Amino acid sequence: MTGTRTAPHPRTDGAEDLTADPLRFGVGARVTVAVMADDYADVILSVLAGVDRSGLVVATGDVSTYVGGHEADLLRYLTDLVDAVAATGEHAAVTLHLSRGCPGEVRCELPGGAGPRPADLPPGRRTGRVAVAEWALYPLVDDVRAGVVPDHMRDIEAAIELARVAGTFRGSEHFVTRLEGDVGAVVETVVGAWARVGRGVQHVTSHVTLSLNSPSRTRG
């Protein structure tokens, strides 16, 4: 697994590289799984218990589950998790909130000048199950003195082009881009675009709401 990762380039100027450690750089996600069935608690606990957490820090709360670690591990975990929810056959909404470049809480604990973190991802797997999703992506400015000001619309358009290439792009609606396709392709689009924009911008977040096993879809 580690062979598929691109390690950050070592700095040659003697300064500490604040981008190398994914946890220190704040690479992670918050996930809310809402299963629309009376036995939701058993379904959610069973799904969470069955997904491989290798390489990740996982902490479950009463609103969401925090998952932190390398982008490649996050891609694997989120694909497996969303697919496991889809495999239950229950109608469910899954909310993913990805973040990078701003560890800590109220105030980023990294200086604005830490710089972006390069991360190449392996291709996501295909699961054979379908998701529809609404997706937003945000390159953020934390410290304009760092001199790197993201161009929000340029990055959004590049991300949408990635979704078109992945075959998941279905259109644009108020405030969001609509994605549809194999669970693995949808999660790969979201995680991939977030990591790609993160090559040029330190602090990038993304929010996506996925709908699984929607009765309005299967009933036509």
Q: Quickly count: other Cβ atoms within 10 Å of residue 188's Cβ.
A: 25
Spell out, one character per residue from 46 to 75, where the chain touches a second copy: x when CB under 8 A holds, - when not: ---------------xxxx-x-x-------
The answer to whether residues 68 and 27 touch, using CB atoms and an 8 Å cutoff, is yes
Q: Collect all residues with Cβ–Cβ distance below 8 Å to 148 and sequence separation of at least 6.
A: 200, 201, 202
5 or 207: CB nearest a second copy:
207
Residue 80 CB burial class (10 angstroms; 0-12, 13-18, ≥19): buried
Chosen residue from 82, 132, 183, 193 binding a second copy by CB under 8 A: 132
For a second copy, the binding residues in 174-203 under the rule CB under 8 A are 174-178, 203
Nearest-angstrom CA–CA distance, 17 and 214:
45
Site for a second copy, rule CB under 8 A: 26, 28, 30, 32, 34-38, 40-41, 61-64, 66, 68, 91-93, 95, 97, 99, 102-103, 105-108, 132-134, 136, 138, 140-144, 149-153, 156-157, 160, 171-178, 203, 205, 207, 209-211, 214-217
